[in-house]
């Protein structure tokens, strides 16, 4: 139990959230903001506890003015099933919260207004988080699906692009239906900023993905996925074809003929330890 309670030490409250709470209090909405923050906190703790169960590296659990976030020091080298559970652990919390609220309402322990408000907040947060936009839970699910078909770097880029397309569609919908809804404009601005940061950091996340593989902080690979590459390919181009969850024997071809094979660790070692970032793949055959 003490081990799980240690997660609470990683909870961080954004300074602007205190301002939101203060404004809610002076406008007579203390109970409503309390319910909203309780729901968001339980949602994020769902992610945090699930990650803790699988011994993931949780950096902090942030409560923000427009929601929450669990920051992980993980970069795509955990089993997909684990990440699926961690991602869905947040939305799942809303199911039991609604059930408990219903039972309390049935026995007349909470008034109808607070019951309906609580259920509405739960449904709103659940549906919002399942939107296929990074970094929301729905966007993470899309990324997980893409990693099964594309390389890690390509799937990251595709998930951000698909998120932007959906966000633009949502933007048009807001313009046509509720163009003067200030809260929605704030949320849209936050999502645009998040996508921009995701795009800027995609190469950094990709390098962390490779570093974890190089230093052995990864799952035990049970599947092999041979990569057929040209001898003239730079090492970086080969690394861009690495998939999540697969060990890569690298088969080198020149002029349509197989000339040799490398282990992925040899390529990673040449890139990170020997700093041969501009070397051609065929040059590694001579070296190793």
- Active site residues per annotation: 44
Please report which residue ranges of 107-243 form alpha helices under DSSP H. Answer: 112-129, 137-147, 152-177, 182-200, 202-214, 235-239
Instruction: DSSP letter for 91, please.
Output: H
Q: Distance between CA 66 and CA 69 in Å, rounded?
A: 10
- For residues 118 and 221, give the distance between their C-alpha atoms in angstroms, rounded to a whole number: 44
How far apart CA 91 and CA 40 sit, in angstroms, is 10
**Residues in a beta bridge with 60:** 71
Which tokens hold the place of 65? 């003015």
Q: Evaluate the omega torsion of the peptide bond into residue 135 and state whether it is cis, within 30 degrees of 0.
A: yes
How many helices (H) and strands (E) are present in the chain, helices listed first? 12, 6
**Helix or strand (DSSP H, E) at 53:** helix 30-53
Report which DSSP code applies to 242.
P
Q: H or E element: which one contains 224?
A: none
Buried b (16+ CB within 10 A) or exposed e, 12-33: eeeeebeebbeebeeeeeeeeb
């Amino acid at each position: 139990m003490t081990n799980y309670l240690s997660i609470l030490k990683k909870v961080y409250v954004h300074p602007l959230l205190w301002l939101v709470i203060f404004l809610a209090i002076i406008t007579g909405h203390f109970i409503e903001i309390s319910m909203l923050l309780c729901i968001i906190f339980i949602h994020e703790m769902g992610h945090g506890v699930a990650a803790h169960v699988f011994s993931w590296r949780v950096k902090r659990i942030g409560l923000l003015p427009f929601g929450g976030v669990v920051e992980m020091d993980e970069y795509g080298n955990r089993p997909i099933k684990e990440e699926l559970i961690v991602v869905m652990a947040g939305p799942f919390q809303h199911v039991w919260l609604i059930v408990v609220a219903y039972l309390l309402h049935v026995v007349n322990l909470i008034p109808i207004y607070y019951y309906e408000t609580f259920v509405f907040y739960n449904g709103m947060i659940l549906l919002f988080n399942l939107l296929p936009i990074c970094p929301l839970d729905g966007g993470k699910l899309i990324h997980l699906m893409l990693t099964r078909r594309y390389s890690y770097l390509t799937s990251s880029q595709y998930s951000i692009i698909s998120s932007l397309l959906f966000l633009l569609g949502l933007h048009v919908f807001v313009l046509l239906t509720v163009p003067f809804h200030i809260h929605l404009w704030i949320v849209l601005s936050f999502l645009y900023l998040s996508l921009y940061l995701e795009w800027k950091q995609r190469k950094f996340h990709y390098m962390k993905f490779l570093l974890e593989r190089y230093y052995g902080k990864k799952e035990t690979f049970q599947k092999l996925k041979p990569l057929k590459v040209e001898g003239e390919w730079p090492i970086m181009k080969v690394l861009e074809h690495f998939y999540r969850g697969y060990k890569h024997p690298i088969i080198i071809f020149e002029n349509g003929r197989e000339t040799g094979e490398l282990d992925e660790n040899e390529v990673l070692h040449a890139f990170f330890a020997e700093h041969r970032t501009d070397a051609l793949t065929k040059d590694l055959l001579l070296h190793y």
